[in-house]
A and B are shown apart, each in its own frame.
Chain A
Amino acid sequence: KNQVEQSPQSLIILEGKNCTLQCNYTVSPFSNLRWYKQDTGRGPVSLTIMTFSENTKSNGRYTATLDADTKQSSLHITASQLSDSASYICVVTFTGGFKTIFGAGTRLFVKA
């Protein structure tokens, strides 16, 4: 069964600290993996997108990594800010068939 699992479910960190969010998937055959940020009550916004051949992609303080062999991805946030408080959603797409599976998300709280 194709699945996308994210951990932790929620996370609290202090402003200025770094954190890493995890995404494990069993999707096959794999097309691409995206990380989205969703502020409360808003629509998700794309942070990064990686294809099978890419193993790292950065967007400012956000860096995503991908290990296609172990089917794991991580999103690293550097020097967190209060505005980073949001849900982070991992999304994996199949090749052919055009199917997309969403992870349940990690809820990040950044405290002053």
Chain B
Amino acid sequence: KAGVTQTPRYLIKTRGQQVTLSCSPISGHRSVSWYQQTPGQGLQFLFEYFSETQRNKGNFPGRFSGRQFSNSRSEMNVSTLELGDSALYLCASSVMQGTGGSGELFFGEGSRLTVL
């Protein structure tokens, strides 16, 4: 069974540009959540999608957005990039909504974004 796939793995952008990251969850998983990871902050929750609807959202500015398609694949977009957006962006899929109950998170390898 294929794991969570994130693309691209690495990318470099300049300030002011925008970026779109993609995440394909494990087959049968309907929940996809996104996280930002920086050395000083650890994993920070961005948002979660279940059945094409955003169910939970973290404390990030509106420049960070996402969506989920009918096949459960998800994309996140960051507009007007800032230097501080440089981070590893992780996607996780889960069978259950909200990762609550006994649901387990399965993470992808991440997309490492560098903003110059």
Contact = CB atoms under 8 A, between A and B. Distances in A.
B104 A103 contact: no
Interface in B82-113: 88, 90, 92, 97-102, 104-110, 112
Contacts of A95: 100
A105 B45 contact: no
A44 B93 CA distance: 12
B56 interface: yes
Interface stretch (A14-22, A45-53, A57-65, A68-76): A45-53
Contacts of B11: none
Interface residues of B, number: 27
Interface residues of A, number: 26
Contacts of B108: 43
B104 A42 contact: no
B107 A31 contact: no
Given A32-B100, A44-B90, A100-B100, 14 more contacts: A41-B88, A43-B107, A43-B110, A44-B107, A51-B102, A89-B42, A91-B105, A94-B100, A97-B98, A97-B100, A99-B56, A102-B35, A102-B44, A102-B45
